[in-house]
């Protein structure tokens, strides 16, 4: 199953808000539907958001009859719309930057050629991410001890990427190599991406797993039940500070206290080389109702003040290593990530 795919002049994607009860797919030729799906988390996961945004631009190119300057203006408007959906995942802006480069480089006098090039670039972004996931999985699995018991947070598998995943790719690869014993999954409040999505994915591939509440992670470490922690990333600053699903920072602190390695797995497209450190990463604030309403039932009194960031920032000093498709980056990250940048394919700044 592919969470998103290009079907000639349409995009088909799974609505992740319906999982795990229902596997519902949406088909559309409307880029605004893609934008809405990203905003509402029907499409989520930093790499997958980037792929979906690229497909959204390709849809805008294919479905419009505009030519010349109106076509270019229409496409740039679509990019602006898609860029406004979620602020933290840098893959969104990286993918849109690549699409913008195609628009800027091709003559607006050749709309047919421009449309073809944009579709090809979106497909290339998808294929590259799929290939990166395979490599990340291999490099990440190399870091696990034999009979590893791994803790992970949120969702970092095929539902979040164009292929096998990032952190979950390492977990699945280790299982295939018979070096993984068990996986513990944080439920990942308030939207339960661990419970709804990661457990669903691991069940499909037959990896043994146990779901725990977010607050149980430290006790598991104290009991000696965790050998490794591995998570994904929505944006990594040039110094190795990591923005990921809220709760990640707490796991990193707990892992350091218990002397457990804490790994981050992400494609190079998740690294924002323009940001010197994590203080500059924009952090999305979520709808308060996501925290105070659960399963359609209010769990906090009306009027309760809510603080609900979607992400937190883990300082580089707590990160044992960052796994990318190009290998494992170790501290000092200003040096190791600089080597990653040399072969990183960038778009233009939006």
- pLDDT single digits (tens) 80-121: 999 999 999 899 999 999 999 999 887 666 888 899 999 999
* Entry pTM: 0.92
Answer left, alpha or beta for residue 206, where phi above 0 means left and psi between -120 and 50 means alpha: left
Is a pLDDT exceeding 70 seen at residue 350?
no
Task: Show the CA angle centred on residue 35, arms to residues 292 and 192, nearest 5°.
Answer: 30
Compute the distance between CA of residue 256 and CA of residue 144 in angstroms, rounded to an integer: 17
Distance from C-alpha of 229 to C-alpha of 260, rounded to nearest angstrom? 7
Tell me the C-alpha to C-alpha distance, in Å, between residue 22 and each of 19, 61, 188, 326: 5, 32, 20, 36
Q: Are strands 228-231 and 293-294 parallel, antiparallel or unpaired?
A: unpaired
Check if 234 is active-site. yes
Distance CA 181, CA 175 (A): 7
For residue 348, what pLDDT is reported? 55
Supply the pLDDT for residue 105: 86
Residue of 234, 241, 272, 312 marked catalytic: 234
pLDDT recorded at residue 225: 98
Domains of the chain (ranges, CATH numbers):
4-132 (1.20.120.420), 134-341 (3.40.50.10470)
Does position 344 have pLDDT exceeding 70, yes or no? no
pLDDT at 341: 78
Task: Provide the pLDDT confidence category of residue 295 given band limits of 50, 70 and 90.
Answer: confident
Q: Pseudo-torsion of CA 59, 13, 172, 261, nearest 10°?
A: 70
List pLDDT tens digits, range 234-267. Answer: 999 999 999 999 999 999 999 999 999 999 999 9
Please determine, for residue 34, whether its predicted confidence score (pLDDT) is greater than 70.
Answer: yes
Q: What pLDDT is attached to residue 108?
A: 62
pLDDT of res. 245: 97
Does 66 score more than 90 pLDDT?
A: no
Q: Which residues contact 100 (CB under 8 A, 6 or more apart)?
A: 76, 79, 347, 348, 350
Q: What is the largest CA-CA distance in the chain?
A: 66
Distance between alpha carbon 105 and the CA centroid of its chain, in Å? 28
At 295, list the tokens.
């399963």
**What value does the mean pLDDT take over residues 165-170?**
97
CA–CA dist 157, 140 (Å, integer) = 13
Asked whether the beta carbons of 22 and 73 are under 8 A apart, the reply is no
Contact 230, 149 (CB under 8 A): no
Once rounded to an integer, what is the mean pLDDT over residues 53-58? Answer: 97
User: Each residue of 169-186: pLDDT tens digit?
Assistant: 999 999 999 999 999 999
Annotate 7-53 with DSSP letters as a single string.
Answer: ETTEEEEE-GGGTTT---EEEES-HHHHHHHHHTTSS-SHHHHHHHH
Per-residue model confidence (pLDDT) at position 346: 62
Nearest Cα to Cα of residue 159 among 267, 309, 270, 51? 51
The total of other beta-carbon atoms located within 10 Å of residue 150's CB is 27
Alpha helices in the chain (DSSP H): 31-39, 46-63, 68-83, 90-105, 111-142, 167-176, 193, 199-205, 217-222, 248-257, 289-292, 333-341
Strand order from edge to edge, sheet including 327-329: 209-212, 180-186, 148-152, 228-231, 262-265, 321-324, 327-329
Tell whether the model's pLDDT for residue 69 goes beyond 70. no
Q: 167 and 154 in contact (C-beta within 8 Å)? A: no
Q: How many CB atoms lie within 10 A of CB 32?
A: 14
Give 89 or 189, the one with higher predicted confidence: 189
């Amino acid at each position: 199953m592919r969470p998103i795919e290009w079907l000639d002049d349409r995009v088909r994607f799974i609505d992740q808000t319906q999982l795990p009860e229902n596997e519902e797919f949406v088909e559309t030729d409307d880029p605004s539907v893609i934008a809405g799906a990203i905003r509402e988390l029907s499409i989520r996961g930093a790499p997958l958001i980037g792929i979906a945004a690229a497909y959204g631009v390709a849809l805008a190119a294919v479905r419009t009859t505009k030519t010349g300057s109106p076509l270019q203006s229409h496409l740039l408007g679509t990019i602006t719309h898609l860029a406004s959906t979620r602020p933290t995942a840098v893959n969104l802006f990286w993918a849109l930057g690549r699409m913008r480069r195609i628009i800027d480089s091709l003559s607006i006098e050749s709309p047919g050629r421009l449309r073809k090039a944009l579709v090809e670039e979106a497909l290339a972004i998808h294929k590259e991410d799929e290939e990166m996931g395979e490599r990340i999985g291999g490099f990440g699995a190399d870091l696990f001890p034999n009979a590893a018991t791994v803790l992970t947070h949120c969702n970092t598998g095929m539902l979040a990427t164009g292929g096998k995943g990032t952190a979950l790719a390492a977990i699945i690869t280790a299982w295939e190599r018979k070096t993984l014993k068990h996986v513990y999954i944080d439920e990942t409040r308030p939207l339960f991406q661990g419970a709804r999505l990661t457990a669903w994915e691991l069940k499909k591939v037959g990896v043994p797993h146990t779901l725990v509440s977010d607050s149980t992670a430290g006790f598991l470490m104290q009991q000696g039940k965790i050998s490794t922690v591995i998570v994904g990333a929505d944006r990594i600053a040039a110094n190795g500070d990591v923005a990921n699903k809220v709760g990640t920072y707490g796991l990193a602190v707990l892992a350091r206290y218990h002397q457990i390695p804490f790994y981050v797995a992400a494609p190079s497209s998740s690294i924002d080389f323009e940001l010197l450190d994590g203080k500059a990463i924009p952090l999305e604030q979520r709808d308060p109702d996501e925290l105070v309403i659960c399963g359609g039932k209010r769990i906090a009194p009306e009027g309760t003040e809510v603080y609900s960031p979607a992400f937190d920032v883990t300082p580089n000093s707590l990160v044992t290593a960052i796994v990318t498709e190009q290998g494992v980056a170790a501290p000092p990250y200003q040096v190791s990530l600089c080597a990653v940048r040399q072969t990183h394919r960038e778009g233009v700044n939006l």
